Structures are given as C-alpha cells and as structure tokens.
Amino acid sequence: MTYTRGIRMKIVSLPPPAASFFESMRDVGYTLETAFADIIDNSLTAKSTEIDILVDSGEEPFRICIADNGIGMDYETLLEAMTYASRDPRTTRDRFDLGRFGLGLKLASLSQGRRLTVVTRRNNSVHAGIWDQDYIDEHNDWLLQIPDDPESILESIPLNIDLNKSGTVVIWEKLERIDGLPETGFDQTAFVKRIDDVRAHLELVFHRFLSGEAGTKKCGISINNLPLDGIDPFNSKHPATGIDPDLPEKINEDVSFQVFTLPHHSRVDKRDWEKYGLEDGYLKNQGLYIYREKRLIIYGTWLRLARQTALNQLTRVKIDITNRVDDAWGITLDKSRAKLPPIVRDTLRNRIERIGASSKRAYTRRGQALTTEEYRPTWKEIQQNNQITYQVNHDNPVMKRFLDNLSGDNRKEFGKILTFIGSTIPLDAMYARLSNDPSSVGVEQVDQATLKEWCLQHYDFLMEMGNNDQDRAINMMRSIEPFKSNWDDTEYILEAERPNDD
C-alpha cells in the first residue's frame, strides 16, 4: 500500500502484452527512407567512417543489411541497444549523438520487417541479439533471442559482410511492410525503385557527412557497393549562389541560420537545375532546411512563416541546431518533423521579407525592362485598379515601323488584333509551368534574317534616342528580348553592319 495526497492506494503493475505492443509500435510513421536514416544515425554516433547497405533481392528470403565500421558494442551495450526506450530523451546526450529516444534501432527496423538481428564486434568479441515478431507473438513475452554462435549468422547470409574488426551489422528480414510495394507478393522492380528512392533521400539527409565539410567527420555510405554522392541543397559552391552576408548567423549558442539564394535557371545548365530542384522542384522545396547535429531532419517548408510562392522559390534557409534543444523543437521519433520555438520563429518572422528578397530580385530584375519606357519594350506593363495588365507596345521600334507603313483603316484593324493578342495571354498555364520548371519555358526562336532586321531597327532607334551613344545602345539591347537570348548573333550583326559607330 501507498499514500498519495493522503489517500490510501494499492499499486498494480500493468506492463503491456508483448505481442500487441510490438505490433502496435510498428505503425509509428516510418517510411523506408526514414527507417534507413535512423539506422545510419546510430552508425554515425558510433564513429563509423564507412557504412555499407547491402540489399539482397535476388531470391527469397530477402534481406537488407546495414554494416558499419564503428566502435561496436560489448554484450551489456548490445542489451541496452536492444531494449525499448533504453535512453531517457531528457538526458543530455554527447555532442554529435544523433539518437534521442532509444527507440530508433528497434522501431525503424521492425517497421519494415518482422525480424531484426544485430551482430556486433568490439575488442575481438562478437555478440548478437534478435527481435522476432513471430517468436514474440508465439510466447507473448519480451523475449530477446541471443545466438550461441553469432558469427554463424553472418556466414549464413549470401552477402559479402566483413566484421573482422570492430563494427555492427543490422539485418532486416521478413520484409512485409515496405511502403510502396504491392500488398500481395514481392515485386522486384518496385523494390529496386524504392531502393533508388532511399539513395536519393540519404544523399540529401547526410550530404554534410558524405562531403566531410569543415567540422564534420567524413563518412562514406554505399548501397550494394555503389557510393552515395552528397547533394548540397544550397548549391553553395556555385558562383551564382547568393549568401546574405548581413544577416546574423547565430540566434543563440544552440541555433544558427544562413540564407541562400540559388542561381536563377538562366545561370545553370538544365542538368544542375533539375538536380538542385530536388525531387519535387524549386517551388515545393523552398524554405527552411533544419539540421540537427549536421543531419537534415526537415526541409522544403516555411513552417507557416511564409507562403510558398514562385518569387521565393530560390530561397533556402539553413538552420543548424544542437541535440540540446530537442524538446523545444519537438523532434519526432523518426526525426522527420519539428516545430519552431518562439524565439526562432520571432527572429525569422522579423526578417522574412529580407530573407526572400534576393530570390524575388532574381525574377523581378528580369522584368524591369517592361516598366522602363526608355527601352520601348515589346510589352507594356499597365497598372490600373489594383491590377497589372500587359499590352503590346505600339511604340516598340519594330512595331512602330510596321504600323507607320499601314493605311489608316488597316492601322486601326491591326491595333485591334494586337489588343486581342494581349487579352489572350495564357497567364494560368504560364504561371503553372514557370512555378514548376522555369527552364522548360522558352520563347519562339527567330531566324537569322529576321533577327538581323529587328536588331538593326532597334539599334538605330536607340542610337537616335540616346544621342548616338553606342555603349548605351548596346547595353540596353543586352537586356531586351529577343537580343538578350541571342546575344552572340546580335553582337556579330552589330559589328558587321555598324562597325564605325563610335
């Protein structure tokens, strides 16, 4: 008996039935990608420099092995690792420890299959433990299996696993819960596709470890002996990538941030544009990239700080946090979700306009010629009644020359045609395509004879308007279509046809 607030009570121990508990905990939300990432967290915490993922999908029984060359575990440490909730999440962890709840190894593994085996070596001593859902169901008890001959487990697996030195091998078997696969039967093609998805995910999540950036111990990761290449989502080594030098990098000793503006699609080739757009493109991948001890945990969201818009799509904010602030950030079991603490939210909210300003400039700068009458652009931007419309500019040199050669009635009719063209711009389709993939949208190509005619007309007009200032005329043409997109040809035409203008 015991007393609580003066009330006499008896205490009843109610441990959950093992079988139902194990089955329930398999549905905590892991995907195949996040499950792999959680196991790799443990390998990195164990100071591994090489992690090999070996996928056996040739013949049943199918297996997945994740082997590392970390410090390994002795028997007592293995038992602790195989114990559910072996670590109190409130306990202060060592710096760079990527774990949190003491659940990841078990939950991540058993979310994908019904059998988890861990084989580990430390100081020339090998130990192994097995959680088998079917065995748990049969006995309805918390029964961890300890093999007498742990090395024989590796010998029985038709994969080249080397555990001659310290390290750990995590083995997933009875794979019946992999998302994205048919519920009945094993689809090898679909399984290989899911492993490709895993590769892309890990290359992003662990890119700072794969590259061995300053302050991070480099670690190689491979899948079936093919090394992973880290994907830096900020394309930070590209000369056209912008980094705001004036924003403070530190909010406090546990949180720092840095703002990147990725290069406009006109500054990179199509392959790199698609690579750094990541799987869902720039529009959906703008926003915050939150790293916990250099490991990416959430990305491609503003967490309600701002809306995802086309003008902000080049903006990505790298936020680094330590493992000391897990509670404040609400880090979830699978480390795929978080929330912004008030101090961080307030800091970023106060700077949100500035944070996205560089991305907006990358797009609006390319439309400035429309609002500068001096250029006589093909399209005029008209602002009226809180709305912006676009009209064909009758004063454009090419357009004006054609109109001047028409009779009064024909000039009036052609003006109506231009108004009709202006009123049928497919704005919705253009916006959708530009938002999803700007590099896929272009302008109609101009043949050389037509380009030459337009080029000379525009050049003569600008020279007349600018008191024969050749440099000024040429610089203005550099920003006007179709000359900007065909500048090499435009420059050749001017040098050949107007060589003596000084």
Domain interval for residue 306 = 242-365
Confidence band, pLDDT 50/70/90 cuts, at residue 297: very high
Tens-place pLDDT, residues 308-317: 888 889 999 9
Task: Say if residue 50's pLDDT is above 70.
Answer: yes
Q: Are residues 347 and 379 in the same domain?
A: no
Task: Supply the DSSP string of 196-265, one letter for each residue.
Answer: HHHHHHHHHHTHHHHHT-TTS---EEEETTEE-----TT-TTSTT-EE-SSS-SEEETTEEEEEEEPPPG
Asked, for residue 9, whether it belongs to a domain, the answer is no
Asked, for residue 30, whether it belongs to a domain, the answer is yes
Asked, for residue 6, whether it belongs to a domain, the answer is no
Q: Are residues 188 and 271 in the same domain?
A: no
Q: Specify whether the CB–CB gap between 376 and 397 falls below 8 A.
A: yes
End of a domain among 365, 389, 413?
A: 365
Q: Are residues 338 and 485 in the same domain?
A: no
Q: Are residues 403 and 285 in the same domain?
A: no
End of a domain among 159, 192, 227?
A: 227
Percent of the chain with pLDDT over 70: 83
Q: Is 123 exposed, middle or buried (0-12, 13-18, 19+ CB in 10 A)?
A: exposed
Q: Are residues 349 and 378 in the same domain?
A: no
Angle, helices 188-205/32-45, rounded to nearest 10 degrees: 50
Predicted pLDDT of residue 219: 96
Average pLDDT taken over every residue of the chain = 83
Predicted pLDDT of residue 288: 95
* Total-model pTM: 0.73
Asked, for residue 13, whether it belongs to a domain, the answer is no
Helix (H/G/I), strand (E/B), else coil: 148: coil
What CATH code is carried by the domain that includes residue 132? 3.30.565.10
Number of domains the chain is built from: 3
Residue holding tokens 């998805």?
A: 197
End of a domain among 342, 365, 388?
A: 365
Q: How close are the terminal C-alpha atoms of the chain, in Å?
A: 104
Task: Say if residue 91's pLDDT is above 70.
Answer: no
Q: Are residues 37 and 132 in the same domain?
A: yes
Q: Are residues 219 and 251 in the same domain?
A: no
Task: Say if residue 360's pLDDT is above 70.
Answer: no
Predicted pLDDT of residue 319: 94
Q: The dihedral of CA 336, 342, 343, 348: what is its sign? A: positive
Confidence band, pLDDT 50/70/90 cuts, at residue 362: low
Asked, for residue 4, whether it belongs to a domain, the answer is no
Task: Say if residue 334's pLDDT is above 50.
Answer: yes
Kindly list the distances between the CA atom of residue 94 and the CA atoms of 180, 272, 333, 341, in Å, as whole numbers in the listed order: 36, 38, 18, 22
Q: Are residues 51 and 149 in the same domain?
A: yes
Task: Say if residue 492's pLDDT is above 70.
Answer: yes
Q: Are residues 247 and 347 in the same domain?
A: yes
Distance from C-alpha of 103 to C-alpha of 333, rounded to nearest angstrom = 8
